[in-house]
């Protein structure tokens, strides 16, 4: 069986891939993730996932590489990981009553055959109207300072939303598993 390598240091992506009960290794791609000037967020995440796959393939030349990237946007502008409480308050205040769009890219690269499978999946998060105290209480309980958009949908963050819209709830966490299963099958890797 061909070795699978997840090109990520994200514990969230690792946990998602573990759901598929496949044997895999993890390796951090360590690439420059700076957006290019005037680059659309969808194009940026697609480019970064491919660059991550290519970087990992240099160290794992006969493997199937799974790489992904994600960004959150509000009004077409990228919302990064807040890093601290105050920035998280600002992000959630801006998102209150509005829709944040996540773009999650997926690149599955068969380094042995030099074949790529690529996709970008959008996911829409419709926020409730949030009070200052709701935002502050949520942030103090969950401390999602390393998460784009300042929330963890798989945790208490679900209380911030009116609804979620997308093909796969795993996409929001960082790895579109339904799409990944299809891509792996094209390289003869069966999940079930």
Residue 158 has pLDDT above 90, yes or no: yes
Domain span at 145: 4-186
Phi, psi of 145 (to 5 degrees): -75, -10
Instruction: Give domain status of residue 191, yes or no.
Output: no
pLDDT of residue 55: 97
Residues 6+ apart with CB under 8 A from 5: 24, 25, 26, 27, 56, 60, 63, 64, 65, 66
Exposure class string for 180-190: b at 16+ Cβ within 10 A, else e: bbebbeebebe
Instruction: Give domain status of residue 135, yes or no.
Output: yes
Mean pLDDT of 86-107: 97
| Cβ–Cβ under 8 Å, residues 105 and 49 | yes
Domain count within the chain: 1
Task: Please report where in the chains the tokens 């009004």 appear, as a residue.
Answer: 75
Mean pLDDT of 166-192: 95
pLDDT tens readout for residues 118-156: 999 999 999 999 999 999 999 999 999 998 899 988 889
Instruction: Give domain status of residue 128, yes or no.
Output: yes
Active site residue 25: no
Instruction: Give domain status of residue 192, yes or no.
Output: no
Residue 162 has pLDDT above 90, yes or no: yes
What is the pTM assigned to this prediction?
A: 0.92
The one catalytic residue in 30, 43, 69, 75 is 69
Reported confidence tier of residue 167, pLDDT bands at 50, 70, 90: very high
Reported confidence tier of residue 1, pLDDT bands at 50, 70, 90: low
Rounded to whole angstroms, the Cα distance separating 62 from 60 reads: 6
For the domain that residue 148 is a member of, what is the CATH number? 3.90.950.10
């Amino acid at each position: 069986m061909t070795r699978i390598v997840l090109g990520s240091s994200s514990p969230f992506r690792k946990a998602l891939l573990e759901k598929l009960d496949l044997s895999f290794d993890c390796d951090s791609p360590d690439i420059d993730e700076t957006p290019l000037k005037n680059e659309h967020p969808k194009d940026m995440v697609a480019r970064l996932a491919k660059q991550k796959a290519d970087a990992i393939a240099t160290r794992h030349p006969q493997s199937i590489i799974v790489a992904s990237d994600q960004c959150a946007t509000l009004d077409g502008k990228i919302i990064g990981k807040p890093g601290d409480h105050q920035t998280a308050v600002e992000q959630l205040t801006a998102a209150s009553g509005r829709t944040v769009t996540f773009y999650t890219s997926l690149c599955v690269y068969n380094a042995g055959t030099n074949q790529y499978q690529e996709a970008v999946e959008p996911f829409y998060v419709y926020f409730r109207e949030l009070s200052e105290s709701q935002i502050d209480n949520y942030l103090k309980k969950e401390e999602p300072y390393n998460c784009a958009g300042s929330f963890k949908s798989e945790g208490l963050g679900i209380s911030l939303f009116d609804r979620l819209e997308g093909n796969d709830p795993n996409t929001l966490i960082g790895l579109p598993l339904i799409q990944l299963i299809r891509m792996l099958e094209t390289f003869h890797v069966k999940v079930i």
